[in-house]
Amino acid sequence: MAPPPHALVIPYPAQGHVIPLLELAHALVDRGFTVTFANSEFNHRRVVAAAAMSESSTLLGRGVRLVAVPDGMEPGEDRNNLVRLTLLMAEHMAPRVEDLIRRSGDDGGAEGGPITCVVADYNVGAWALDVARRTGVRSAAIWPASAAVLASLLSIDKLVQDKIIDPQDGSALAQGTFQLSVDMPVMQTSQLAWNCIGNHDGQEALFRYLVGGIRAVDKCDFVLCNSFHGAEPATFARFPQIVPVGPLLTGERRGSGSKTAVVGHFWRPEDDACMSWLDAQAARSVVYVAFGSFTMFDTRQFRELALGLELSGRPFLWVVRPDIVLGGDVHDYPDGFLDRVRATGRGMVVAWSPQQRVLSHPSVACFVSHCGWNSTMEGVRNGVPFLAWPYFADQFVNQGYICDVWKVGLRAEADGSGVITKEHIAGRVEELMSDASMRERVEAMKKAALESINRGGSSLSNFDMFVDAMKA
């Protein structure tokens, strides 16, 4: 009897990429695949350690084999240096992944049999798709962010032709905005992916790396995207090669009984405490505040946010990562803030949360978010309006979708000194809470998102097509 199809899934080594790709891996297992999930060594240890503290460890073993591949960085190096990390991955991971594929058929089926296809995060770049081509297996690139941002990468030649960016380093020839088509979001030249990270030399290296990735993607079998047609119809019409299969669930899998386990997180979530606290709150009363895994604040802005939540007079659940304060201490709260929160019981501060479960909770009324795409899709899928507070890169495009296209959120806007004040935060929260028309729009987006992934929906149909092709 022939072994089942065997997919090698390769995420970019960041929290917002590992989680949706691990969900995709489980979706492939549900369709009869064996999956090998190749994380960087550093993130492999984090995922396994976090899973060991919850029911996730059993879920990770259901048809998904986790393997670790060195990324080329030293143990103590700063993995927030995304340019260096990305370039080193291409040098160090490619030969090891190629060896993994070639050896996969030599173990007598003990490890799932020969690898038959590669599904690589687009941000991993050309090397993973080149390895698939050299080893003779099918390949797909998956873009875990908005189709509009992927479209900007696929349009680099046009941006050069239109004299929007420099052909050598991708730098903006003029600061301003552009649109790839009249119905697509307005984008800032300064916020193109390669112009947001590192110094000029790093940006130039990243630009050249991304250009190489475009050439490789042109030769793969599928370009998948964690979005849905109703969210970005103009983009999918203009770029039909991008295939929407979202919104993917992001890290929540059903465990034994009625429990839900968190899969792929780097931190241990505080499930019981924050969920029990939410259970005690009134319906649509809680402000949920979370800024993903990269956002950092200076001490002044961090304190202003704390005071704004307090000034709003609304119950709040605030996720505060240990490293969220830039050059400071995570305990740099305003004087007496935590004591007042504890005394009133009106707020809760946690290090990490099971975000999908939080956003689906009936007590949550709005989401103060950095506008990462996973968070954006989670908020949309659960019908929660946003206070949109982007930090870098594609998050500004996502803010445009939220506030200008879908009209399901409001911008957090800084004052003349660059600070988003406590008064502004409290005022925006009150606007979100009282805007009935926004609630109607976000419910309509929720309906469209859920329809896309249910029977007969466009994303589910696209995923079926992809699965059939990878099995053929």
pLDDT of residue 201: 80
pLDDT of residue 58: 46
Question: In this model, does residue 413 exceed pLDDT 50?
Answer: yes
Q: Write down the pTM of the prediction.
A: 0.91
Neighbours of 344 (CB within 10 A): 10
Per-residue pLDDT tens digits for 11-33: 998 878 898 999 999 999 999 99
pLDDT of residue 106: 75
Helix axes 200-217, 147-154, angle to 10 degrees: 90
Mean pLDDT, residues 303-327 taken together: 95
pLDDT of residue 217: 80
pLDDT of residue 250: 58
Find the radius of gyration of the CA atoms of the chain.
22
pLDDT of residue 440: 98
Q: Which of 145, 144, 148, 146 is nearest to 24 (CA)?
A: 144
pLDDT of residue 266: 53
Mean pLDDT of the chain: 88
61 versus 103: the higher-pLDDT residue is 103
3-state secondary structure of 244: strand
Lowest mean pLDDT among 62-76, 226-240, 292-306: 62-76
What is the dihedral sign for C-alpha 123, 125, 131, 133?
A: positive
* 60, containing H or E segment: helix 56-60
User: Distance between CA 202 and CA 205 in Å, rounded?
Assistant: 5
Are the C-beta atoms of 350 and 320 separated by less than 8 Å?
A: yes
CATH number of 270-384+386-434: 3.40.50.2000
pLDDT of residue 55: 54
User: Distance between CA 230 and CA 208 in Å, rounded?
Assistant: 33
Per-residue pLDDT tens digits for 167-192: 999 999 988 899 998 888 889 888 88
108 versus 399: the higher-pLDDT residue is 399
Q: Let me know if domain 6-250+452-471 sits in CATH 3.40.50.2000.
A: yes
pLDDT of residue 84: 84
Per-residue pLDDT tens digits for 144-168: 999 999 999 999 999 999 999 999 9
Q: Give start-end residues of each CATH 3.40.50.2000 domain in the chain.
A: 6-250+452-471, 270-384+386-434
Mean pLDDT, residues 255-282 taken together: 66
Mean pLDDT, residues 435-456 taken together: 97
Question: In this model, does residue 234 exceed pLDDT 60?
Answer: yes
Question: In this model, does residue 258 exceed pLDDT 50?
Answer: no
pLDDT of residue 139: 96
